Amino acid sequence: MIELKNVSKTFTLHNQNSAVIEVLGNVNLTVAPGECVALTGSSGAGKSTLMRMIYGNYLSQSGVISIDGTDLVQAAPRDIIRLRREVLGYVSQFLRVVPRVPTLDVVAQPLRSLGVPAETAENRARDLLSRLNILPSLWSLSPTTFSGGEQQRVNIARGFAHNYPALLLDEPTASLDPTNREVVLTLIEEAKARKSAIIGIFHDEAARSRVCDREIDVSRFTPALAV
Amino acid sequence: MMQDTYNFAYLDEQTKRMIRRAILKGLAIPGYQVPFASREMPMPYGWGTGGVQVSAAVLTPEDRFKVIDQGADDTTNAVSIRSFFERTAGVETTTATEDATVIQTRHRIPEQPLTEDQILVYQVPIPEPLRFLEPRESETRKMHSLEEYGLMHVKLYEDISRHGHIATSYAYPVRVEARYVMDPSPIPKFDNPKLDDNPAIQLFGAGREQRIYALPPYTKVISLDFDDHPFDPSKADQPCGLCGSNESYLDEIIVDDAGNRMFVCSDTDYCEKRQAAGHKGKFAA
Amino acid sequence: MTPLLSVRDVAKHYGPHIGCADVSFDLYPGEVMGIVGESGSGKSTLLNCLAGHLAPDRGEVVFDTRTEGPRDTVTMSEPERRMLGRTDWAFVHQHARDGLRMGVSAGGNVGERLMAVGQRHYGTIRQTATDWLGRVEIDQNRIDDRPTTFSGGMQQRLQIARNLVTGPRLVFMDEPTGGLDVSVQARLLDLLRGLVRDMGLSAIIVTHDLAVVRLLADRLMVMKSGRVVEQGLTDQVLDDPQHAYSQLLVSSVLQV
């Protein structure tokens, strides 16, 4: 489902004498449907960068990032957007939304953009928000005013609204209390059972060992650290 | 004496040729506004300088000339234009619609049906029907040439939304031969049906605006409307107080300080003829 | 799939000065593209060339028309182009007063395009106008009020209703949120997002506000001195800009 071949990433900082920083090189990895792979490595090793490359958010300089048969390195924007809409989900560490949009609409949005009727999409959103213990009284409010933990749970609800065949999770259990952490891990297990291919970053070791089938240390793709 | 000083009908022959060319072009493209080099006339703008130039260009010594102002032969404007052509052209004048060969009019069409032997000359203050909503001349010309007339209906829409019906009661826009939208000059909408299929030649002159347009005989002229708000050429629902006519367009006249009023024909020639034939309204002397 | 708009090598010069040059791209149905750049970068010139308001000096702007398939709008006749301008295209101006008839009621403003394409039933026109005022969150009791009595945000929403009432397929927007309060901007952006999604619109949005394109645009084109220096997926260009100018542009934004 997710396959990376000889992928590399450099940053060219034009405003700092065009310094070229080689961040990742020769990345090769494969994730099969129903498999959950953890990215590990010390801070700065490039876990989040790699995650963003797989999402198409960062441009890869070479190689192939194939998701469901589409090569993200070469794909046109509309193909990446279609892939993100239908196939590839991403739960980032930060919630980014249009101000003033109610929480319920934020969570229902991925389904709405797939053409799911409003009522069906909102029912799914209500179900997820309830499971993640967001009080119904908050659903009609914009999440921009919520606490960090609440925002993170809204973010997770949105990320799991559609059953993506491929899912990227960046610290999904960070800043969550034990109850909600349990809910999120259950959601991940359900996604695996539905044969989603998952790549995650977990600092929470217990969580990692519970849901992940294997670990990949990103440091070995990091030229600066490998030298 | 005047004939020694002025050319026949005041304008020199070159100017008349120029105006006739504009008229011919107007007749060839019914409803299209033809620019012409309007001359200074010995009367202020707004007093019919466009109509006077058109009349001067079409008058021949054999013509019999009639002038009406809001239907009346005896108002200042009508009297002075009539005497202008009596002095500068020496043509016969008349107040009888059926006797006239050229009729210059301000804001009315005579009640008496016109014939193929007659020319009706309208005085036009604002020839551009689209100006109400689009002040740019460059843009309105383009809209005419491309038949983009949605804006005309916006004006009517505004009327209905504000008054519940199309409240435009004069200068009511028309579509000529399914092509040009035309301002019929500020005639009451009651007169609009007379524009259509009229045997006479109808010429429109706007002096200040330097435009001439025309309707050749028997031209199809449709008043714009909506399917659910059809054009209604209504008038005051009264008979004439003097001649009792139920068919003619009426003016409302306040008759005393107590605010009493009566309705009388705006077409004085029509009204007088009916009275002479013995018709009487309830205010008739 | 046929692109809705296919732009090839468009250039516009003002004397020796370059308005825009060497611009080529394809826009597909349902795509929203942002064009960013500083003042004078040529983004408005380009938008006006694409929308038929300016004749480019060279290049093609091929639009996939409903009846005749792809046609070059630069060489098509003016009546055809103007017909597109009031049916399949819409243009949202930065200043609502440039896109509205300020002397005409809100209902008349929305109804104009309907009447322009031959709608002649007052009741139907009014009903459609009422529906559209609701869709852009304007109180339907305001239908007979003139836009001069509206706030800036309401005027902009009215302009959008007036433009979208005939169900266009391509919307050009020139700084649609410029000059509005931040809180009003957010509401307008949300409204635009909803309309774009529900109507399946394609749009080209010119703005210097990177937050606007992040929220509305699928893809992004960065312009400098009349030329496109970078284009790609919106979040990729904003989060991982490749060109020196794009990096400068992104890093110049104040973080809130």
Q: Which fold has domain B13-223?
A: Rossmann fold (3.40.50)
User: Which residue's structure tokens are 């999409």?
Assistant: A121
Average of pLDDT values for C7-27?
95
As given in the structure block, the two tokens for residue A161 are 């609204």
**Percent of chain C residues topping a pLDDT of 70:** 99
A174, pLDDT greater than 90: no
DSSP B43: S
| Cα A196 to Cα C254: distance, rounded to the nearest angstrom | 39
> C236 and A56: CB-CB below 8 Å?
yes
Of all residues in chain B, the one with the smallest CA distance to C103 is B133
User: Which residue's structure tokens are 């509005």?
Assistant: C180
Query: Which of B132, B166, B226, B232 best probes binding to C when mutated, by most C CB atoms within 10 angstroms?
Result: B226
Q: How far is CA B217 from CA A185, B103, B116, B260, in A?
A: 88, 15, 7, 42
Domain ranges of chain B: 13-223, 235-285
Cross-chain CB nearest to C122 (options B142, B150, B160): B160
Q: What is the pLDDT of residue C192?
A: 86
Active-site residues of B, by number, are 31, 240, 243, 265, 271
Who contacts C210 (Cβ-Cβ below 8 Å, separation ≥6)? Answer: C36, C238, C249, C250, C253
Say yes or no: ipTM exceeds 0.90.
Answer: no
A60, pLDDT greater than 80: yes
The low-confidence residues of chain B, meaning pLDDT below 70, are 1-5, 285
Residues of chain C positioned with their CB less than 8 A from the CB of B229: 122
The radius of gyration of chain B from alpha carbons, rounded to an integer in Å, stands at: 19
Query: Which of A82, A83, A98, A170 best probes binding to C when mutated, by most C CB atoms within 10 angstroms?
Result: A98
Task: Note the pLDDT tens digit of each residue in C126-164.
Answer: 999 999 999 999 999 999 999 999 999 999 999 999 999
Average of pLDDT values for C46-74?
95
> C240 and A112: CB-CB below 8 Å?
no
Residues of chain C positioned with their CB less than 8 A from the CB of A52: 239-240
A217, pLDDT greater than 50: yes
CB atoms within 10 A of CB B4: 5
How many Å lie between the alpha carbon of A29 and the closest alpha carbon of chain C? 22
Strand order in the sheet with C58-65: C17-27, C5-14, C58-65, C69-72
Of C185, C192, C198, nearest in space to C151 by CA: C185
Of all residues in chain B, the one with the smallest CA distance to C79 is B146
Provide DSSP, B5-40.
Answer: HSBTTBS-HHHHHHHHHHHHHHHHSTT--EE--PPP
Q: What is the pLDDT of residue A227?
A: 43
| Cα A50 to Cα A23: distance, rounded to the nearest angstrom | 9
Who contacts B176 (Cβ-Cβ below 8 Å, separation ≥6)? Answer: B30, B31, B182, B215, B219, B220, B221
> C248 and A14: CB-CB below 8 Å?
yes
Which uninterrupted H or E stretch holds B108? none
Residues of chain A positioned with their CB less than 8 A from the CB of C186: 98-100
Count the helix, strand and coil residues of chain A and give each as a percent rounded to the nearest 5: 40, 25, 35
Of all residues in chain C, the one with the smallest CA distance to A16 is C244
C256, pLDDT greater than 60: no
Of B58, B64, B52, nearest in space to B123 by CA: B52
| Cα B242 to Cα B280: distance, rounded to the nearest angstrom | 6
Of all residues in chain C, the one with the smallest CA distance to B143 is C79
Interface residue C239 vs chain A (CB under 8 A): yes
A225, pLDDT greater than 60: no
Query: Which of C218, C220, C236, C250 best probes binding to A when mutated, by most A CB atoms within 10 angstroms?
Result: C236
Who contacts A128 (Cβ-Cβ below 8 Å, separation ≥6)? Answer: A107, A157, A160, A161
Of C241, C246, C235, C231, nearest in space to C26 by CA: C231
Contact B62, B217 (CB under 8 A): no
Contact B186, B125 (CB under 8 A): yes
Q: How far is CA A142 from CA A105, B62, C57, C213, in A?
A: 9, 86, 48, 20
Q: How far is CA B96 from CA B60, B64, B73, B269, in A?
A: 19, 10, 9, 6
Which uninterrupted H or E stretch holds A215? strand A214-217
- DSSP lists the bridge partners of residue B180 as B176
Classify B120 as helix, strand or coil: strand
Q: What is the pLDDT of residue B222?
A: 97
Q: What is the pLDDT of residue A224?
A: 64
Residue type, position A155, single letter: N
Specify the CATH architecture of the domain A1-87+167-175+197-227. 3-Layer(aba) Sandwich (3.40)
The answer to whether B and A touch (≥3 CB pairs < 8 Å) is: no
As given in the structure block, the two tokens for residue A16 are 């700092």
Contact A152, A176 (CB under 8 A): yes
Residues of chain A with CATH 3.40.50.300: 1-87+167-175+197-227
Classify domain B235-285 at the CATH class level: mainly beta
Residues of chain C positioned with their CB less than 8 A from the CB of B133: 101, 103-104
Average of pLDDT values for A120-128?
96
Main-chain phi, psi angles of A135, to 5 degrees: -60, 135
Provide DSSP, chain B.
Answer: -HHHHSBTTBS-HHHHHHHHHHHHHHHHSTT--EE--PPP-SS-TTSSHHHHHHHHHH--TT-EEEEEETTBSSSHHHHHHHHHHHHHT--EE-S-GGG-SEEEEES---SSPP-TT-EEEEE-S---TTTTT---HHHHHHHHHTT--HHHHHHHHHHHHHHSS----BS--EEETTTEEE---S-BGGGHHHHTT-SSEEEEEETTTTEEEEE-TT--EEE--BTTB-------SS--TTT--SSS-EEEEE-STT--EEEEES-HHHHHHHHHTT---TT--
As given in the structure block, the two tokens for residue B145 are 């040439």
Classify B245 as helix, strand or coil: coil
Q: What is the pLDDT of residue C251?
A: 87
Which uninterrupted H or E stretch holds B194? helix B192-195
**A148-159 vs A103-112: helix crossing angle, rounded to 10:** 20
- DSSP lists the bridge partners of residue A2 as A31, A67
Residues of chain C positioned with their CB less than 8 A from the CB of A77: 31, 218-219, 232-234
The answer to whether C and A touch (≥3 CB pairs < 8 Å) is: yes
Task: Note the pLDDT tens digit of each residue in C101-114.
Answer: 999 999 999 999 99
A223, pLDDT greater than 80: no
Q: How far is CA B159 from CA B149, B173, C104, C113, C248, in A?
A: 17, 13, 10, 17, 54
How many Å lie between the alpha carbon of C2 and the closest alpha carbon of chain A? 13
Cross-chain CB nearest to B157 (options C82, C111, C113): C111
Task: Note the pLDDT tens digit of each residue in C79-101.
Answer: 899 999 989 999 999 999 999 99
Contact B90, B3 (CB under 8 A): yes
What's the sign of the alpha-carbon dihedral A38, A44, A48, A53? negative
C254, pLDDT greater than 80: no
Average pLDDT, chain C: 92
Contact C20, C223 (CB under 8 A): yes
Burial class (CB in 10 A: 0-12, 13-18, 19+), C148: exposed
C62, pLDDT greater than 90: yes
Burial class (CB in 10 A: 0-12, 13-18, 19+), B196: middle
